[in-house]
Structures are given as C-alpha cells and as structure tokens.
C-alpha cells in the first residue's frame, strides 16, 4: 500500500543533542514517535509524529510532499520507529546528523 502525506522539513538534527539551527527537538517535543524512513535515493530520514504510534506502517511506502508548497520531496519506505527520546541511542545505526521532518 502507498500513502501520500504532507510533511514539513525542519533541517538536520544532531541525534545526540537534539539540536538543529533553530531549536532543540528534544526540549520542544517531550513525547512522540520518530519514524525512520529510507528514501528512494537511499538516504535515511526521520519523520516525527506527535502521537504514541506511527502514522505509517512498517514497510509501507510513503509519498512525501512539502506541507506549504505542495512540492514533492521524496518517496520513502518506513524501516523502523521509536519514541523520540530513544533517538540518541540510534546514532550507531543512523549517524549523528539526520534530516528531520514533521507530519502536518
């Protein structure tokens, strides 16, 4: 099944500290789910949802477009998810800096 969704980019986030250029995601969002997606180009991205469950299903294909401009961003497949507070533990798998998006 393929899903189409609106997301808003918030830039690269340091998974150890939660910081990006504008704010700290760990200070801003105390709870929520981080979906780990692999894009059609092989890049790993995180899409955040404020709920305690993922919006996408594991293995589901998602077509992502920008929430404000409606411009297509990427196609992806959800490969994992975790509570946002567990992201610092995933740096060995994801690296330190990851592109972050939020569902709208």
1 band by pLDDT with thresholds 50, 70 and 90: very low
Q: What integer pLDDT is reported at residue 3 of this predicted model?
A: 79
Helices marked H in the chain: 25-28, 91-94
Distance of CA 11 to CAs 2, 3, 4, 58, 77, Å? 25, 23, 21, 24, 19
Question: In this predicted structure, what is the pLDDT of residue 46?
Answer: 97
Nearest-Å Rg of the Cα atoms of the chain is 13
- Whether 15 and 103 have beta carbons less than 8 Å apart is answered as no
Percentage of the chain with pLDDT > 70? Answer: 98
Count the Cβ atoms, other than its own, within 10 Å of residue 3: 13
pTM for this predicted structure? 0.92
Quick: pLDDT tens for 48-96. Answer: 998 888 999 999 999 999 999 999 999 999 999 999 999 999 999 999 9
């Amino acid at each position: 099944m393929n899903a189409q969704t609106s997301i808003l980019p918030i830039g690269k986030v340091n998974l150890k500290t939660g910081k990006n250029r504008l704010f700290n995601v760990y200070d801003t969002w105390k709870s929520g789910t981080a979906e780990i997606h692999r894009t059609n180009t092989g890049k790993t991205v995180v899409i955040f949802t404020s709920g305690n469950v993922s919006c996408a299903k594991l293995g589901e294909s998602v077509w992502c477009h920008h929430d404000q401009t409606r411009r297509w961003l990427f196609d992806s497949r959800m490969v994992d998810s975790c509570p946002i507070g567990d992201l610092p533990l995933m740096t060995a798998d994801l690296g330190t800096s990851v592109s972050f998006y939020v569902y709208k």
